[in-house]
A = this chain, B = another copy of it.
Amino acid sequence: MSQHGTEPSYVFTEKQVAEKSGLARHFLDTRTRLNENVTKADNFLVKRFYNLDHNAYLEGALPAKYKEMMGLVASACLRCDDCLNYHVIQSYRLGVTRAEQEEAINVALIVGGSIVIPHLRRAYELLTELYA
């Protein structure tokens, strides 16, 4: 499948993020290790879905950084720590400030309610390491 949109310009590499934050490193390492099983399985539909998932966050009508924060809000509302970590890291890599990340999390907190708080707490721990 061809791409729709262009690759965003990252301010930081994944490696730089992993060096800065132990929480990010642990998350990224686990994700890489688990994705190896998925890659080996070489499932047609999973590969297509991963491709589509990649396409959804490219630079397009909306800047990539806002789409990453939309992914962040969706992840927080649906309460998935892995997804939330991922989008916090991607937003950071695209130059999003901490104040911007907190406002995005606030939208998720208001829409999703106090059930979001345990995830907010863990996200703030990651934010604290990334923006130290």
Contact = CB atoms under 8 A, between A and B. Distances in A.
Interface of A: 1, 4, 31, 34-35, 37-38, 40-41, 43-46, 48-49, 52-53, 55-57, 60-62, 66-67, 69-71, 73-75, 77-80, 82-83, 97, 99-100, 102-104, 106-118, 120-122, 124-125, 127-128
Given A61-B97, A99-B61, A102-B61, A109 B77 contact: no
Nearest to A2: B44
23 contacts: A37-B124, A38-B120, A38-B121, A38-B124, A43-B102, A48-B52, A56-B106, A56-B109, A67-B104, A69-B70, A71-B73, A74-B74, A74-B77, A74-B111, A75-B115, A77-B78, A78-B112, A79-B80, A109-B113, A110-B113, A112-B112, A113-B114, A113-B116
A112 to B, nearest CB: 4
B41 A78 contact: no
Task: Tell me how many chains of this kind the complex includes.
Answer: 6
A103 to B, nearest CB: 5
Nearest to A52: B48
Nearest to A44: B4
B74 A112 contact: yes
Contact of A56 (B40, B107, B121): B107
B114 A111 contact: yes
